[in-house]
A and B are shown apart, each in its own frame.
Chain A
Amino acid sequence: MARRNDQLKSEPKKEGLVDYADKEPSAFATMLGGLIEANVEGRIEKRKDFSTLVARVGIWVNDIDEGVTLDFKGRGGWLTVHNGLVPNRTLTIRTDAETVMSLSNLKIGPFGLPVYYDEVGRGVAAKLLNGKLKIDGLLANVMTLNAVTRIFSVQ
């Protein structure tokens, strides 16, 4: 996972944790950006991941035919949200709207790992196995996915 350890000590910016690359961010971009911002502002344990994560994560929602790219830039905590998928992504998640909601409802267990053995987790794991949830770049970036899940999770 690409991280900037030298930024661990620096405080995240008080304002502008999230910005938008497009003049008119899509509703989906605004919602994900808003969700992450509220999560990070409200939960101190998410700050460390957010402050140090450097990754470009695409999320494509098949059943609304829309997507976003979350460009985590580290730098003490800064995310730029793009409408649609932009190149050079570390990970790309492709699934339906319901599963996006499930991903944000994954519980975080011991060692900061997402919990895949409760009802929500089993549902997500089943979708991964039956191909309804596809994650490009997963094998090489498991740690990044775990960090994104921790930031994204509302649980």
Chain B
Amino acid sequence: MTVKAFSADWAAAFKDEVNKSTAYKAAGKGWKWTVGLVVEAEPDKHFAEARGIVMDLFDGEARDIKVGPASDAQKCDFVITAPYSRWKQVATKELDATKGMLQGKLKLKGDLPTIVRYTKASQEMTECTTRIAVEWPDETTS
């Protein structure tokens, strides 16, 4: 099933993928912080308003992933911010999230040693996003 990018359906599919991943279950063991992804608006790409994805991750499990206003995501323990097209590049494997962070293409806020300790878990989470069939607003013909 194809879902609209960064929609409630996308969040549900993402949560399913994370919880299906044995690699994430192992790599995320001990994680106990919330993660917010801020998807900045790019009206020229038909992504008119910023959105926030709030991920309640605990000990290798995604307890909840929901989409709401960017301000909700900004309150999380760790916040990763990027424009819509960058997140699309990550989800389509055009941009490696680790490289993106080192290059400042994805902006990270939060305790660096903790996030570095869980590099493998964050890589697997990125992998999970690539397994979702997504309808991208800038590719939709109407």
Q: Mark B80-121, 1 if CB is under 8 A from A, else 0.
A: 000000000000000010110111110110011110110100
Note all chain B residues with C-beta closer than 8 A to A100: 102
Q: Assess whether A88 is interfacial by the CB under 8 Å rule.
A: no
B116–A63 touching, CB < 8 Å? no
Q: Total interface residues on B, using CB and 8 Å? A: 17
Mostly helix, strand, loop or mixed at chain A's interface?
helix
A101–B112 touching, CB < 8 Å? no
A102 to B116, CA, bound (A): 9
Summed over the interface, the residue pairs from A and B with CB atoms below 8 Å come to a total of 51
Mostly helix, strand, loop or mixed at chain B's interface?
helix
A105–B111 touching, CB < 8 Å? no
Note all chain B residues with C-beta closer than 8 A to A63: 99
Give, as a whole number of angstroms, the nearest-CB distance from A34 to chain B.
Answer: 5
Given contacts A27-B102, A27-B104, A66-B103, contact A35 B96 (CB under 8 A): no
B113–A154 touching, CB < 8 Å? yes
Q: Assess whether A108 is interfacial by the CB under 8 Å rule.
A: no
A61–B102 touching, CB < 8 Å? yes
Note all chain A residues with C-beta closer than 8 A to B98: 97-98, 101
A154 to B119, CA, bound (A): 11
Give, as a whole number of angstroms, the nearest-CB distance from B117 to chain A.
Answer: 5
**Residue picked from A61, A64, A102, most chain B C-beta under 10 Å:** A64
Least CB separation from A26: chain B residue: B104
Least CB separation from B101: chain A residue: A31
Note all chain B residues with C-beta closer than 8 A to A155: 117
Among all A-B residue pairs, the 4 with the closest Cβ atoms: A27-B104, A154-B113, A101-B119, A35-B112
Please list the residues of chain B having a beta carbon within 8 angstroms of any beta carbon in chain A.
96, 98-99, 101-105, 107-108, 111-114, 116-117, 119
Please list the residues of chain A having a beta carbon within 8 angstroms of any beta carbon in chain B.
26-28, 30-31, 34-35, 38-39, 42, 61, 63-64, 66, 97-98, 100-102, 104-105, 154-155
